[in-house]
Amino acid sequence: MNTAHVVDKDSRSLGITWESLEGGKYKFYFHYTELENLQPNQSRQFNTFLNGKLLDSLFSPLYLSDFTIYSYAEEIQPGKQKISLNSTPNSTSPPLINALEIYRVHNLLGQETNQNDVEAISEVKAVYELKNIEWQGDPCGPEDYMWDCLNCNYSANHSSRIVSLNLSGNNFTGPIPDALLERRKNGIDTNNWNSTNACPSNSCGKNNKSFVVPLAASLSGLLFVCFTIVVIIWRLKRKPHNKAAINLEGENVKSEDNNEADESYKNNKMERYTYSEIGKVTNNFQKVIGEGGFGKVYHGYLNGVEVAVKMLSSSSLQGHRQFHAELKLLLRVHHKNLTTLVGYCNDGSNVGLIYEYMAMGNLRSHLSGNRSSGIIILSWEQRLLIAIDAAQGLEYLHNGCKPPIIHRDVKSTNILLNEKFQAKLGDFGLSKVFGNNHTSTFAVNTTTTPVGMSASIAGTLGYLDPEYYTSNWLNEKSDVYSFGIVLLEIITARPVVATTKENKHIIEWVSSMIAKGDIKSIIDPRLKQGTVDINTVWKLIEISMACVSKTSNNRPTMSRVVTDLKECLTTNITRNNSSNVQTTPEYLTDSHEKYMASVEFSPTAR
C-alpha cells in the first residue's frame, strides 16, 4: 500500500522510465490493489505497454485485493526504457500501480541433471530427512551452484550425472560394504575415504576435487549407501524399454474413441526418436519455421513426408512442463481439426514433438499480410470454413473428451492451415484437464501461489477472458471468449489491440462501428466488393459478440457456436448459388470444392 502510485485524475496515462545499461531478456511483475472504493458509475481500466508493445490489456484491479500480473521474457535493447499504463476510453479513473519488479533473464548453460539421478537423490533426501543440507533446484547445475555433498560429471551433449554423494560428518560408523566397492566398476571412485574428507554436519565442501563416495564407515552408512544404490537401480529398471515408452503419469484423460496411452502407442504406431535422428529429419535443424517461449519449430522430412518439429529450449523450464502436458494430451485426443502428432523425441535433455506439416502457416499470417508479401487473401467463404474447422476442434476438446479439456490459449496464430486451407487447432502446451468440478483446477490465490506457477495467468494477452481478473477461474466459456476474438479477427483482419494512438481493443472498435451502424467498415477491406453477403456478416458478428460477452453465463457453448457457424455457411452458399457469385480464388477451386463436400453439417462424429 505504501508504494502505490496514482496519477492525477485528469491524466490518462502513467509512465515509468529507467535507463538499462544491459540489453537482453527481462521479466516484469506488476502488483496491483485498488485503493479507492469506486462507485457503480466509475471504473478503472487500463492497458500496459513496454516501449510501445502491449503487455496486458483491459485490466481492472479489485478493491483491496492484491493481484500480480507477469510478462513473458521480453527482449529490450540498452538505453532508455518506458512502461506506460494507459486508460481505456471507457475508464473514468486514471491508472495505478502498487509495485513493479524487474528481473533480467540469464540462460543456464549446459545440460540438466539426468532425471533418474534427480529422482533418486530427492528420494534419499526425503527418506532420510536430510534437513541440515541445502538442496534446491537442479542438483548439478549450474556448476557453481551444485548441491552440497555432491560431485557431478558434466558433458556438452548429455545430461549431467551424479557420480558421488559425500555424507561424511553425519556420525556414521562401520566398515565400507563390499557391495559399494563393486560400484567402482560403474565409474564411481572409491579411493578417498579418510576422515580428512569429512564435511561439517551443516555443510559439505564444494571445493573437494576428488570424487568421494560417501560415507565415513559405519553400519548405518552401509545400509544407507546400499539403499541409495538399490533405489537408483530399481528406478532404472522400472523405466520401460519400449521405443515408444514415456512417463505419462498425471491427468487421466480419455478420448471416447481411444484407450489408455499404452494402447494409443500401439494403435497409432507412435515412434520415439533420438536426438541424432531428429537432426537427420531436420537436416541438422537448418530451417526454422516458428518460435515460441518453449523453443523453435523446424521444417523437416520424415520418411519422405514433410513434418514440423517443435524442439524444446534447454533453458526453458516452462517449456519442459508444456512439453509433457502437450504430449500427454496429443496421445489421447484425435480429431480431424486438431494437429496430428506423428512422433516425439525424449532423449535426455533433448525433447521435441513431431507434427504433420501445415503448409499454409497460421491463420493470423493470412489476415495481417498482403499479396505482395506472398500471403493469400482468404475469401469470405474460406474464412467461414476455417472458423467452422477451428470451432469443431475446440468443441471436441470440450465435449468429445472425458474429462473435458480446456485449451486456454485459443488465438489466430494457433489455428494452422494445410495446403487445402483446412484448419486445425494447435499448441496444447497450456491445456488443462478438468474433472467433475471443472473450474476448481484453476483457483488462484495470489497470497499463497508463487508467481510463475501453473496457477498464474495462462494464455495470450488480448484473448484472455476478462472474468478471470475478477474470479480467478478459467473454464470452457473462457475458450469461447478467446474464440470470439478470433472470429472478430476473421471478419475485420485487424490486430486484437490496434497499434494506433488510441490502442483500441478489437471488441471496442467493432462495438463503436456497430453503434454507428457502419457494418461495411467492419469487414476486411481487402475482400472484393460483391463477394461478401452482408447478412452472413451480420450473423457472424452476432456470434462473435455473443462469445465475447463480459458475463460467461451469457456466452454460448462451443456446440452452439459450431451449429450457428454452419447455418451461417449454409446461408452464404445458398446466396452465392442463387447469384452465381465466385467467392473462392480460381487456383483453389478444385481443392475447395472437394473440401466443401467433406464439411459436416450434422453433429461431429466422436
How confident is the model over 406-463, as pLDDT tens digits?
A: 888 899 999 999 999 999 998 865 555 544 333 323 322 223 333 322 334 557 889 9
Residue 310 among known ligand-binding residues: yes
Give 231-284 as a DSSP string: HHHHHHHHS--STT-----S---EETT---HHHHHHHHTPEEE-HHHHHHHTTT
**Is 111 or 233 the better-scoring residue by pLDDT?**
111
Segment among 207-211, 263-267, 308-312, 560-564 with least mean pLDDT: 207-211
Please report, for the chain, the start and end positions of each structural domain, with discontinuous segments joined by +. 5-104, 115-199, 271-357, 362-576
Q: State yes or no: cis peptide before 142, omega within 30 of 0.
A: yes
* Helix (H) or strand (E) run with residue 578 in it: helix 558-579
392 pLDDT higher than 60: yes
How confident is the model over 221-242, as pLDDT tens digits?
A: 445 555 555 555 555 444 443 3
127 pLDDT higher than 90: no
How confident is the model over 133-182, as pLDDT tens digits?
A: 667 778 888 887 788 888 898 887 778 888 887 776 655 444 444 434 44
**Is 196 or 2 the better-scoring residue by pLDDT?**
2
- In degrees rounded to 5, what are phi and psi of residue 485? -65, -40
Q: State yes or no: cis peptide before 403, omega within 30 of 0.
A: yes
Cα separation, 157 vs 155, in Å, equals: 5
pLDDT at 488: 98
10 pLDDT higher than 80: no
Given a contact cutoff of 8 angstroms between Cβ atoms, the answer to whether 112 and 314 are in contact is yes
Cα separation, 1 vs 101, in Å, equals: 15
586 pLDDT higher than 60: no
* Helix (H) or strand (E) run with residue 568 in it: helix 558-579
Residues sharing a CB contact under 8 Å with residue 466, sequence separation 6 or more, in sequence order = 58, 481, 550
pLDDT at 428: 67
Q: Band of the pLDDT at 554, cuts 50, 70, 90? A: very high
Q: Are strands 79-87 and 46-50 parallel, antiparallel or unpaired?
A: antiparallel
Q: Band of the pLDDT at 105, cuts 50, 70, 90? A: confident
Which one, of 334, 416, 380, 414, lies nearest residue 490 by Cα?
A: 380
User: What does pLDDT average to over the chain?
Assistant: 74
Highest mean pLDDT among 474-478, 519-523, 541-545, 597-601 belongs to 541-545
**Is 155 or 278 the better-scoring residue by pLDDT?**
278
Given a contact cutoff of 8 angstroms between Cβ atoms, the answer to whether 84 and 8 are in contact is no
**Domain 271-357 superfamily per CATH:** Phosphorylase Kinase; domain 1 (3.30.200.20)
Cα separation, 597 vs 591, in Å, equals: 10
pLDDT at 130: 63
pLDDT at 260: 37
Cα separation, 60 vs 53, in Å, equals: 19
Which one of 2.60.120.260, 3.40.50.970, 3.60.120.10, 3.40.50.300 gives the CATH number of domain 5-104? 2.60.120.260
Q: From the CB of residue 72, how many other CB atoms can be counted at a distance below 10 Å?
A: 14
Q: Looking at the structure, give the CATH architecture of the domain made up of residues 362-576.
A: Orthogonal Bundle (1.10)
Q: How far is CA 128 from CA 3, 80, 125, 370, in A?
A: 44, 52, 6, 64
| Residues annotated as part of the active site | 409
* Helix (H) or strand (E) run with residue 104 in it: strand 99-104
Q: From the CB of residue 280, how many other CB atoms can be counted at a distance below 10 Å?
A: 13
**Is 100 or 369 the better-scoring residue by pLDDT?**
100
Q: Band of the pLDDT at 183, cuts 50, 70, 90? A: very low
Which residue's entry shows cell 536430510? 130
Percent share of the chain, pLDDT over 90: 29
193 pLDDT higher than 70: no
Phi-psi domain of 123 (left: phi exceeds 0; alpha: psi -120 through 50; beta: other)? alpha
